[in-house]
Structure formats: C-alpha cells, structure tokens
A and B are shown apart, each in its own frame.
Chain A
Amino acid sequence: MTRILDFHAHLDERWLHVRCDTPAHAVDALDRFEVEAACVFTIMGFYEDCRPHNDALLRRADEFPDRLIPFATVDPKQGRAAVEELQRCLANPRFRGVKFHPWLQAFAPNMLRDTMLEILHVAAQHRAPVLFHDGTPPYSTTYQIAELARWSPETTVVLGHAGSADYVNPAAELIRDLPNLYGCFCGPRPGDLVHLVEVGGAEKILFGSDFGAAGWRLLPERIDNVLEAGLDPRDLDNVLYANAARLLKLDEHPLPPGTQTSSEAGR
C-alpha cells in the first residue's frame, strides 16, 4: 500500500448548525485509514470574516502540526485588505496553501480580476498552491477556475474537485493544456479518475477527501474511489502521495514534529 496525503479536508468547529470533528477526531480518522497528513481548510471562514477563522484554523491544526496542514482563505471582495491578510498568513510557514470556495464566498473570479491577480502573485511568491472549489455554477465552474491559471502562469492552481459531477472531461483537458493547473480528485469516481489520469497525467492529479465537512466515513470512501480505479503502482503513488508532497514542498520543509497522538489528546 502506498503512502497517502489528503490534499482536501476541512477542520472547523461547525458547518452552519452542524458540529464538526475535533482535531483529535480528525487525526484519529487519519490514523485508522493510514493517511499521513491532511491539508485542512476552514468552513465558516467562507461565510464570515476570514481573519479570526484563519487564526482559529491555525490553532486547531497546531494541536497536531505533524498531521494537519492549514490552508488560509481570504475574502477578495475586500480588495487590498484581502491581499494583506494573505501576506500575514503566508508569512507563517505553517500555512502551506490557500483555499477559495467562490460560490460560498460570493464572487466570480472575473468580477475581482485585479485583486485575484494580486492574490495569485502573493501565492506564487510563497510557492503556495491555491485550491478552488470547482465544478459548480455560477461562480465556480471548472472553466472559471482554469482562467485563473491562465492569468497567472507562475501560480499553482488546483481544481478542488477535478470537475466534480459534471465537469470531469473539461477538467481533464484543461489540466492537460495548462502546465500550472492541477486537479484534486475529491468527489468524482473511479471511472472519472481513469480518464483524468489518461488525459491530464498522473503527475497532475492529487487525492483529496473533503472529510471534516461530513463525517469520518468520507475518508475511506474517497480512498476506495482511488484504489478501485486500477491505476498502476507508480500512478497510484503520484495521486495518493507524491504530487501532494511536491506541491507542499515536504522534502525542503518537512512538517514540524508532533507533540501528541490523537489518543493522548483525550478526544
């Protein structure tokens, strides 16, 4: 079995009225399914003022710095203040990437082109990948997200769902055509993964689960979706581990050592 990094998970207190897993519960799930680490994003920070949510996410992730890798988010509707908040977050090496959910955050990238260009530029300076929810109109179609990769060729842009339900074929073609566009295989199914790897290339597809938004079961379900595609061992390792390790620069900057295990944290 190959090593696993999860490039798309959530870590928050709640999603609207539904309580979410604690950091210890999240790490407990990672342990059970042999996932080494997960990139974790806010949920309520997409609805509310980002800054306190970035701080809260960092605090939660810092309970298990060897397992939970926080991605910051900012509200591009705030213009200059959003760019400054991103600089503030990325100055801390714990934040290894940026996450946007344009339909929850209520903007189409094209409405805020200047701010988005600045944001993409700051991310590129920090060599931080920028992951966007994709596959859903009216603000997050896969084509809309791919435009950002065209605007800023020096920035690594990740389609957060590799096309999701209905944009898998466009995602595969765009990932093939744009060198700085990647796809997080998070939601689509084994038959889709075969196509994404065939067309987009196994070095451009990264595993993600979205767990933390719904319960722990999402993690093994989404690992199954990768395993059942029947990829060859080299492609499987790229998708489950190596591509994420490369984008997160784990060789250059290993994750800090852990201070506790999930069982010690008392759950």
Chain B
Amino acid sequence: MGRPLKTIDGHAMLGDETYLSLRPAELLRRMDAAGVDLAIARPMGAGLVVDHRAGNDLVLTAGPRIRGLASVNPWWGPAALEELLRCRDQGAVGMFLDPLRQGFFPTESIVAPLLERAAQYGWPVMIRTGAYIFADVLAVVEIARRFPSVAFIAGFGGYADMWFEMSEAIGSVGNLYLDASMLWGDGIDEIVRRHGAARVLFGSAEPRNRYRVCLRTLDRLELSDAERDAIYYGNAERLFHL
C-alpha cells in the first residue's frame, strides 16, 4: 500500500485533562513530523466539561490546519445552543459530546435540541464511546436511529472493552462511523470488511495515542488504494464538509 495523497486526523484533543496536555503548536509539530495535513480537534478537560468558551476557542482559533469540533454540556440548556451558534460562526466543523465526562445519556431529552442544531448546521456529531454506562455504543445507535440525517462518529470506537459491539452497531444503522484512533488493527479491519471503508475515519487521539502508532496500525491492514484514501482523508472531507 502506497502513501495516500493526504492525511486528515479525524480526532485530536487540545487542552489539559488529568495527565494529558496538548497545545496547538505542539499538535502542529507532531502533525508535521507524521505528515498529517489537517487535524480535527476537540477540547478536553475543563474546556470540555464546564468551560466551553475557553475550550471551544482553543480548538477554533488553532487553524488553518486545525479545525474544531464545538463541545457543549447539554445540561447548559439554552446557553448551550447559543454557544453552538457562536462556534458555527467561528468555523466549527462539527460537534463533540462526551456523555461520560459531561454526565448524560445520549438518549436523554436534554440532548435532542443539540442534535437538532447539528442537523440544521449539517454537522457530524462525534460521541465518545466506551465501557462506562453513559458512553454506551448502543445508546449512540439509538440516537442515530432518531436523527437519521445526522452523521454520528463513535469516538474511540468503544475502546476498550466495548469494542465487540462496534461492528454490529455500525451494521445496524447507516449513519454511524468509526473513529479508528483507539481500536486495534483487526477490529478496524473487521469493520472495513463487513461494512466498507466509507464507515471508518483515521484519528489519532493525540496526545493520548501517537500518530506513528495509528498510522502504522492502518498501514499493516491490507487496504486497497480506494479504501486507504477513504479512511485517511476522503470520509473526513465528506463528513466535515472540508
């Protein structure tokens, strides 16, 4: 498999969270070192959970090679919708929600106005998925059924111990995509084989993961050129309207 024309990282994180920390300048340095052209970033830590203005400003002013996903806590109510409008005007390309850190079930009524807004803006919605109750992959499938016009991206792909739901989940709705940043090669490969490369986005989960780990994981799969191009950049361009 040769190198793709370009590489778009579908999931990087900026800010400070527990022991992780990443600023735009360092992300750009890592992108350059790995040959990554563009990264889609979302806030982490306080900027994700409580201080949305700061978190969103961090990812939305990091450009031009870093584009931002806006994040708001659904418990903010109408103020969350105002913040989404502000972010759209600043060039956000989608929304990021973390049910685990922000404390809600994706199916709760407080979330619906945010998803309606995403539909209106043509935004994809990335939702963190994993083993913890609020982050249930199947809850994301449920809202994907309720909002068929919105593209949902399963952030971290159920990592770690819900990985075994991922392939079925993607098979059961047409508007759910995999963020491949934390899934191992065989897990990614199974989804590509069963559901097609159009459902998988390259992501790095920087600074938790590393570009080199994620790129080498994909390079070991026996992808056709068309599959490779879809995963490395084509799907991201389509979903984020880049």
Residues in chain A within 8 A of chain B (CB atoms): 135-137, 161, 164-166, 168-169, 172, 187, 189-192, 194-195, 198-199, 214-215, 217-218, 220-221, 224-225, 228-229
Contacts and interface: CB of A to CB of B under 8 A. Distances in A.
Contacts of B212: 224, 228
A220 B208 contact: no
B174 interface: no
Interface string B1-36: 000000000000000001110000000000000000
A224 B161 contact: no
Nearest to A168: B19
Contact of B210 (A136, A164, A190): A190
Contact of A165 (B18, B161, B217): B161
Main secondary structure of the interface of B (DSSP, over half): loop
A215 B209 CA distance: 21
Interface of B: 18-20, 100, 130-132, 156, 159-161, 182, 184-187, 205-210, 212-213, 216-217, 220-221
A161 to B, nearest CB: 7
A221 B213 contact: yes
Contact of A189 (B132, B185, B186, B205): B205
Nearest to A214: B186
Nearest to B132: A166
Given A161-B160, A190-B210, A228-B210, A217 B220 contact: yes
A187 B185 CA distance: 13
Contacts of B131: 136-137, 165-166
B18 A224 contact: no
B216 A191 contact: no
Contacts of A190: 208-210, 213
13 contacts: A164-B161, A168-B19, A189-B213, A190-B209, A191-B207, A191-B210, A214-B184, A217-B221, A220-B216, A221-B220, A225-B210, A228-B210, A228-B212
Contacts of B213: 189-190, 221, 224-225, 228
Contacts of A218: 184-186
Nearest to A136: B161
A16 B130 CA distance: 22
Given A165-B131, A169-B18, A221-B217, A189 B161 contact: no
A220 B215 CA distance: 12
Contact of B186 (A135, A172, A215, A224): A215
B160 A165 contact: yes
B161 A135 contact: yes
Contact of B130 (A165, A172, A195, A220): A165
A221 B185 contact: yes
B210 A221 contact: no
Nearest to B20: A191
Given A165-B130, A192-B208, A228-B213, A221 B184 contact: yes
